[in-house]
Amino acid sequence: MYEKDGEKYFVVDGHVHYWDASPENWIEGQEQYAKGWIECFYGYHQLGPEEYYWPMEKYQKYSEETMMKDLFEDGYVDVAIFLPTYLKAWYREGFNTTEQDAVLAEKYPDKFILNSRFDPRDGEEGLEELERKHRRYGFKGVKLYTAEWHNGSKGWSLKDPEASRYLEKCEELGIINIHVHKGPTIWPLNKDAFDPKDVDDAATSFPNLNFIVEHVGLPRIEDFCFMATQEPNVYAGLSVVLGALMHSRPRFFSKVMGELLFWVGEDKMIWASDYAIWHPRWQVEMFVDWDYPQGHEFDDFPRLSTEGKKKILGLNAARLYDIEVPPALRLPEAETDAQSVEPTVS
């Protein structure tokens, strides 16, 4: 919980990692990629404020104590959502798997929400695996990487018939939150991850599932915006947006926020720190204080109220994951009703 000027904010961090990128976990022969990957993350890390920089050694592998303190003592986070990134081709035990995350999630069930993954190219076996894992961990969300290489395939699309079978399975199991990585590219050649159109099709075909587009398609937010505006069950995952831009490029951050507020709206935007890329503390503090800078170029973007910030920092994610929000931290009822009223276009 964060409190400022008498206002209390319930904070849900929509995307956190508990990774191991230490050299002991690098696969022989793949060291350059394993090292390159974490160095790439480290570059992003340094787009945050300097006082939060970690030495590389700590950044490669951090302890449970560090994570618990950063998120829940210093970072104002009430509940954090794990999204896994496997990368088993480079890291022996994976970079950040459901199993790794489960160690903390099972120890602190009130603090963490555990999620898993699937890859439709794993076929029948993958479907069974998803079901087995779900029985074991009971998660409500998955993280998908459509651009990932796999056995000679250069990526996949949510439109593929195989993907539909997996989404049907998710619906059946109650895995309702589908987090799709449409952001900074990982390993794309011609089949690039930059086009979020496949989310559009899947969102229409599966109206009971929520599609959270992680990193809002950055660096190509326009494709995401034009798509999200048409789909009621598509959400903007703000990890990287705040972390990479709010401190280092504040004017552009404001433009990107303005665009997202215009096309997507404050009810469908979900903040995430992307810990340990960035510490949640400065993001929460700076975002609560955020407003458009001086200048006419920001004039016609929608304004963001305190209520809007409360939604983005926690209440929207709480709704998707059915997290109990303490009564004192909820929005007044009237406010909630007002959301369903169509805004008047002036």
Partner 1 sequence: MTNHTEVLDALSDVRDPELDEPITDLGFVSELEIEGDGVFVRLRLPTYFCAPNFAYLMVADAREAVLSVPGVRRAWVVLDDHYASDEINGGVNEEKGFDGAFPHETESPDLEELRTIFRRKSFVARQEKLCRALLAQGRSPEQLAETRLREVPPSETFEKYLERRGELGLDISPEASLLVDPDGKRVPGDAIVQHLRFARTVGVSIEGNAELCRGLLATRYGRGEKEGVKL
Q: Which residues of this chain interact with partner 1, rule CB under 8 A?
A: 32-33, 36-37, 39-40, 42-47, 152, 154, 185-192, 218-222, 225-226, 244-245, 248-249, 252, 255-256, 258-259, 263
Shortest approach of partner 1 to residue 146 CB, angstroms?
Answer: 15
Shortest approach of partner 1 to residue 247 CB, angstroms?
Answer: 10
Shortest approach of partner 1 to residue 78 CB, angstroms?
Answer: 29
SS (H, E, C) the chain: CEEECCEEECCEEEEECCCECCHHHECCCCHHHHHHHHHHHHHHHCCCCHHHCCCHHHHHECCHHHHHHHHHHHCCCCEEEECCECCCCCECCCCECHHHHHHHHHHCCCCEECCEECCHHHHHHHHHHHHHHHHHHCCCEEEECCCCCECCECCCCCCCHHHHHHHHHHHHHCCCEEEEECCCCCCCCCCCCCCCHHHHHHHHHCCCCEEEEEHHHCCCHHHHHHHHCCCCCEEEECCCHHHHHHCCCHHHHHHHHHHHHHHCCHHHEECCCCECCCCHHHHHHHHHHCCCCCCHHHCCCCCCCHHHHHHHHHHHHHHHHCCCCCHHHCCCHHHHHHHCCCCCCC
| 103 phi-psi bin (left φ>0, alpha ψ -120 to 50, beta other) | alpha
Closer of 166 and 263 to partner 1 (Cβ): 263
Shortest approach of partner 1 to residue 258 CB, angstroms?
Answer: 8
Closer of 164 and 248 to partner 1 (Cβ): 248
Closer of 80 and 241 to partner 1 (Cβ): 241
Shortest approach of partner 1 to residue 154 CB, angstroms?
Answer: 7
Shortest approach of partner 1 to residue 140 CB, angstroms?
Answer: 30
Shortest approach of partner 1 to residue 33 CB, angstroms?
Answer: 6
Closer of 66 and 185 to partner 1 (Cβ): 185
Closer of 190 and 208 to partner 1 (Cβ): 190
Shortest approach of partner 1 to residue 324 CB, angstroms?
Answer: 36
Shortest approach of partner 1 to residue 253 CB, angstroms?
Answer: 8
* Residues in CB range of 217: below 8 A, 6 or more apart: 182, 183, 194, 196, 223, 224
CA distance 23 to 124: 34
Closer of 81 and 245 to partner 1 (Cβ): 245
Closer of 137 and 226 to partner 1 (Cβ): 226
Closer of 108 and 187 to partner 1 (Cβ): 187
Closer of 12 and 261 to partner 1 (Cβ): 261
